């Protein structure tokens, strides 16, 4: 068949060349795998704020991708039009966590594979990916990093506070130091001993220390 024959063929006849049963089966598997991705994302989420909208997007993305691939594989003319239509679409959504990119590609890949008719590959591949993500996400970190912020009136209070903090934690590493007319602000990365945070109260009781703040730090933001 030449390109001439393709474009001369009836568009409506080609569109009707699909099976309703196969479509329902494909969409059903896309929904099941999309829900599986949704559950894995919910269980492995370790970010700052869980987004239910993004989680539902993963389900919808697998369904939409499956539908598009089914349409593209069933009709050559439609596939050319679909490429042209999708080429002008631009998506601008902020990715809050790097792991979200994995879930987006996972949903799209599952939809593509199911739409192409390779349902066993989609099921087995999704099961393997889900197990790996859950296993790695549930690994316990023995030394969670924290950021310790100490505001002191003078250098004497700073020395006493840093000495107490150094004795109370496994690791004490100064990240920044700000000196102004209002006092000294010290920011340090610390690793706690057995998740004990009582030393913060002791630092606050030191004369000349205005306030002490201890916040969790995941390496991507600091507050």
Cβ-contact 154, 209 below 8 angstroms? no
Q: Residue 200's pLDDT band (boundaries 50, 70, 90)?
A: confident
Which of 137, 170, 201 is the endpoint of a domain? 137
Cβ-contact 67, 115 below 8 angstroms? yes
Q: Are residues 155 and 132 in the same domain?
A: no
Q: Are residues 13 and 110 in the same domain?
A: yes
Question: Domain for residue 221, yes or no?
Answer: no
Question: Domain for residue 98, yes or no?
Answer: yes
Q: Are residues 155 and 196 in the same domain?
A: yes
Question: Domain for residue 19, yes or no?
Answer: yes
Dmax (CA) of the chain: 89
- Reported as a single tens digit per residue, the pLDDT across 130-162 is 999 988 876 655 567 888 899 998 888 888 888
Average of per-residue pLDDT across 198-209: 87
Provide the pLDDT for residue 46.
Answer: 72
Q: Are residues 42 and 98 in the same domain?
A: yes
Tokens of 92: 């601008």
Q: Which has more pLDDT, 129 or 17?
A: 129
Angle at 31 between CA 29 and CA 37, to 5 degrees: 105
- 202-206 long-range CB contacts below 8 Å, 24 or more apart? 202/164, 202/168, 203/150, 203/161, 203/164, 203/165, 206/157, 206/160, 206/161, 206/164
C-beta atoms surrounding 29 within 10 Å: 20
The rounded percent of the chain whose pLDDT value lies above 90 is 18
Question: Domain for residue 179, yes or no?
Answer: yes
Q: Are residues 79 and 153 in the same domain?
A: no
Provide the pLDDT for residue 82.
Answer: 62
Tokens of 185: 């602000």
Provide the pLDDT for residue 136.
Answer: 83
Which of 92, 108, 137 is the endpoint of a domain? 137
Task: Say how far apart CA 99 and CA 41 lie, in whole Å.
Answer: 9
- DSSP β-bridge partners for residue 172: 190
- Reported as a single tens digit per residue, the pLDDT across 76-100 is 556 655 665 555 556 566 667 778 8
Q: Residue 222's pLDDT band (boundaries 50, 70, 90)?
A: very low
Average of per-residue pLDDT across 172-187: 87
Measure Cα distances from 171 to 38, 144, 193 in Å: 37, 11, 9
Question: Domain for residue 81, yes or no?
Answer: yes
Q: Are residues 121 and 202 in the same domain?
A: no
Average of per-residue pLDDT across 200-210: 87
Q: Are residues 167 and 79 in the same domain?
A: no
Question: Domain for residue 157, yes or no?
Answer: yes
Over 80: is that where the pLDDT of 50 sits? no
Can you give the CATH number for the domain in which 151 is found? 3.30.70.260
Task: Say how far apart CA 203 and CA 161 lie, in whole Å.
Answer: 6
Question: Which residues span the domain enclosing 202?
Answer: 145-216
Q: Are residues 133 and 150 in the same domain?
A: no
Q: How far is CA 191 from the centre of its chain?
A: 25
Which of 120, 137, 154 is the endpoint of a domain? 137
Question: Domain for residue 223, yes or no?
Answer: no
Provide the pLDDT for residue 12.
Answer: 45
Q: Are residues 15 and 125 in the same domain?
A: yes
Average of per-residue pLDDT across 31-46: 90
Give me the number of domains the chain comprises. Answer: 2
């Amino acid at each position: 068949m030449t390109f001439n024959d393709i474009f001369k063929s009836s568009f409506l006849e080609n569109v009707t060349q699909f099976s309703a049963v196969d479509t329902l089966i494909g969409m059903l598997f896309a929904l099941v795998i999309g829900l599986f991705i949704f559950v894995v994302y919910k269980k492995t989420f370790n970010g700052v704020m869980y987004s239910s909208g993004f989680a539902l997007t993963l389900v919808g993305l697998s369904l939409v991708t499956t539908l598009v691939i089914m349409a593209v594989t069933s009709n050559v003319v439609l596939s050319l039009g679909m490429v042209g239509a999708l080429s002008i679409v631009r998506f601008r959504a902020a990715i809050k966590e790097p792991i979200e990119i994995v879930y987006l590609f996972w949903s799209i890949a599952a939809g593509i594979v199911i739409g192409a008719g390779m349902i066993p590959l989609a099921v087995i591949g999704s099961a393997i990916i889900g197990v790996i993500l859950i296993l790695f996400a549930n690994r316990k970190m023995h030394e969670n990093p924290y950021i310790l912020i100490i505001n002191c009136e003078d250098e004497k209070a700073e020395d006493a506070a840093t000495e107490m903090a150094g004795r109370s934690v496994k690791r004490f590493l100064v990240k920044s130091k700000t000196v102004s007319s209002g006092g000294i602000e010290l920011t340090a990365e610390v690793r706690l001993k057995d998740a004990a945070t009582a030393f913060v109260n002791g630092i606050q009781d030191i004369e000349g220390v205005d306030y002490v703040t201890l916040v969790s730090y995941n390496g991507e933001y600091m507050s």
